[in-house]
Amino acid sequence: MYLHVTPNGGKYWRLAYRLFGKQKIFALGVYPQVSLAEARQMRDEAKKLIKQGIDPVVERKQTSRRKYDEQATTFELIARDWHRTKQSSWTESHAKKIMNSLEADIFPKLGDRPIAAISAPDLLAALRVIESRGALEIAGRVLQRCNAVFRYAVATGRITANPAAELRGALKTPERKHHAALSHAELPAFMSHVDGYDGDFQTRIGLQLLAHTFVRTGELRAARWAEFNLELGEWRIPAERMKMRDEHIVPLSRQSVALLRQLECINGDSELVFPSGNGRRDKCISENTLLYALYRMGYHSRATGHGFRATASTILNEMGFHPDWIERQLAHAERNKVRAAYNRAQYLSERKQMMQVWSDYLDAVSRGENVVLSEFRQKRSEN
């Protein structure tokens, strides 16, 4: 070992050695940043490698490469890579929700770990923290997302096995909670409360449209006038706003069109059907606007915006409408992608008739008429 001094005054620790008949130089660092004691320690470690026939220069490069590879294949980097590849198939809000859950619950514990070094117990320990705060459903969803990240890592050659697959059945099962939904017997009083709602005008219209169309709350809140053809009585919700990323056609009953005409009188100058009331016409009303209106009407824990879907599904089935028509109207997922493309507008004429019967039914119960579900559809068809 020696200290190499350059003409400009630089001082470099060097180790001269011979391996496999070749003379070589191993850099030990710059003096005085690397002290004599540190240089001697590195020299001794290098000599041990040389005795084993290992070139310290090559070993240093390989070690640096391993560290780089580990940093380039951390769980967080691969998870973000996976997220980018899937983002186009999700709505913006769903994509944000997925990343937020990973950032909050997984990255702080496993994000900087090489993905190949994460075991099933490591992942389970992180999920147990979520469980410990009582968020069992969130723990299950986070496991699903981690499972997808690990499968992506397997597919792209970063790892050979998926530790998340070993955790099937390892988490606590949350008690299934259904959205609060109204029954046929409860609808007359509810519709009467909605029709007499003394709060914001557009909020009342929103509740009425939610009942008549039974779309998802988010689909209604962010609706744009460009999506509607009121003359044709049709609402086409674009794929990017749908949960399953497929365009959804909602036939509009005469009652729904009339409600939208009322709303058009006050909001027709906005792109949004339900612009925010805080002066931001480019933002739609919040998800709590309709929910809090239900609370004001006395329906806390008794009804939700999403619950209208369950109510409509139950009653339309009792009326005898074909289950496929109802499922298509609810825009539930079609697992077969080919069939899904074909089904986008399937049963449209049948669904138009069904949606008109549904609105007529809501009008009838709001007037206090005694409606027998098994007979109502037939009576409407005869009129």
Which is the catalytic residue, given 332, 339, 367, 379? 332
**Catalytic-residue membership of 216:** yes
CA pair distance 121, 241, nearest whole angstrom: 38
Return the bridge partners of 247, or none.
none
- Six-digit token string for 188: 């007359």
Catalytic residue, chosen from 40, 84, 342, 367, is 342
261-294 exposure pattern, b = at least 16 Cβ within 10 A, e = fewer: eebeeebeeeebbbbbeeeeeeebbeeebbbebb
Of 15, 39, 35, 18, the closest CA to residue 26 belongs to 15
Is 243 catalytic? The answer is yes
Q: What is the DSSP letter of 26?
A: E
Say which DSSP state 185 is in.
T
Catalytic residue among 158, 309, 328, 351: 309
> Annotated catalytic residue: which of 216, 241, 248, 328?
216
Catalytic site residue 47?
A: no
CA nearest neighbour of 187 among 60, 345, 30, 314 = 314
Classify residue 283 by its DSSP letter.
S
- 309 a catalytic residue: yes
Contact 50, 57 (CB under 8 A): no
**24 pairs with which residues across the strands?**
17
Catalytic-role residue among 86, 141, 306, 352: 306
* DSSP letter (8 states) at residue 224: B
Inter-residue contact 115 to 159 (CB < 8 Å): yes
Nearest to 290 by CA among 215, 202, 373: 202
- Contact in structure between 116 and 156 (CB atoms under 8 Å): no
Catalytic residue among 151, 243, 281, 322: 243
300 catalytic per annotation:
no
Q: Is 306 one of the annotated active-site residues of the chain?
A: yes
* DSSP class of 240: G
Matching residue, tokens 């006050």: 266
Active-site annotation, residues = 216, 243, 306, 309, 332, 342
